[in-house]
Amino acid sequence: MINQLITLVVLFITFSSFGQIDSAFVEHLSRQQLKIEHWTYLNSFETKNDSTNYYISKYHLQYGEDSSFLSSLSRSQSLILTDRLVVDYANHYF
């Protein structure tokens, strides 16, 4: 019984580490201005794909981290440029 439980926990941890970003949760963190929690969640993903880089870019823009936003923009430029609200906000900000 204990071995089955340990196996189940190991499988759960293994498969959850390859999960996708929960956009509703990211929006919640963003709206509530939970900066530390927001950053921790975005960096909890081992692999940084387009959507992860997109949310990291939005994070840097939201919290006014200019140089970090510009450096992360190059990794998510295709997604950022399709989001009209982010582009308008960035134009207004800069």
SS3 assignment for 9-47: HHHHHHHHCCCCCCHHHHHHHHHCCCHHHHHHHHCCCCC
User: CA-CA distance, 71 to 84, in Å (whole number)?
Assistant: 20
Burial 43-66 (b: 16+ CB within 10 A, else e): eebeeeeeebbbbbbbbbbbeeee
Residue with the bigger pLDDT between 13 and 71: it is 71
Mean pLDDT of the chain: 86
Residue 45 contacts residue 52 (beta carbons within 8 Å): yes
pTM for the model: 0.75
Helix (H, G, I), strand (E, B) or coil at 7: helix
Residues 29-59 have pLDDT tens digits of 999 999 999 999 999 988 888 899 999 999 9
